[in-house]
């Protein structure tokens, strides 16, 4: 799973900075390399957060079966709020905004 050709929708291309796109693919690849079982749909919740007057990008990566959740804090150039799905349909993997599903 997630070892096939990768695509992104136009929404991801225009709304999600490349460094965050690459980070999300990296999260999936890391789980795969660790031998973890992957659900066909990976969910990423991206939100702008503030702690001690420092803004950062909060990214929650999760899947339903088997249950998995991990939260990351990044300091990219551009902060965004978005929900992103990465779906493997067997032939290819597609990164899309939740409203494009």
Nearest to 1 by CA among 88, 61, 67: 88
| pLDDT computed for residue 31 by the predictor | 97
The answer to whether 41 and 53 are in contact (CB under 8 A) is: no
Domains of the chain, CATH where assigned: 5-100 (3.10.450.150)
pLDDT-derived band at 78, boundaries 50, 70, 90: very high
3-state DSSP call for residue 53?
coil
Is the pTM value of this prediction over 0.75? yes
Residue 42's CB is within 10 A of a number of other CB atoms, namely: 25
| pLDDT computed for residue 88 by the predictor | 98
Which helix (H) or strand (E) element contains residue 62?
strand 54-63
Q: pLDDT tens across 5-28, in order? A: 999 999 999 999 999 999 999 999
- Mean pLDDT (whole number) for 83-101: 97
């Amino acid at each position: 799973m997630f070892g096939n050709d990768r695509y992104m929708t136009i929404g991801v291309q225009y709304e999600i900075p490349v460094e965050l796109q690459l980070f999300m693919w990296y999260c999936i690849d890391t789980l795969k390399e660790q031998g973890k079982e992957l659900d066909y749909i990976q969910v990423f919740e991206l939100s702008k957060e503030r702690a001690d007057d420092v803004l950062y990008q909060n990214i929650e990566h999760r899947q339903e079966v088997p249950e998995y959740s991990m939260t990351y804090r990044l300091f990219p150039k551009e902060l965004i709020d978005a929900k992103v799905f990465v779906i493997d349909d067997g032939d290819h993997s597609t990164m899309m905004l939740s409203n494009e599903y």
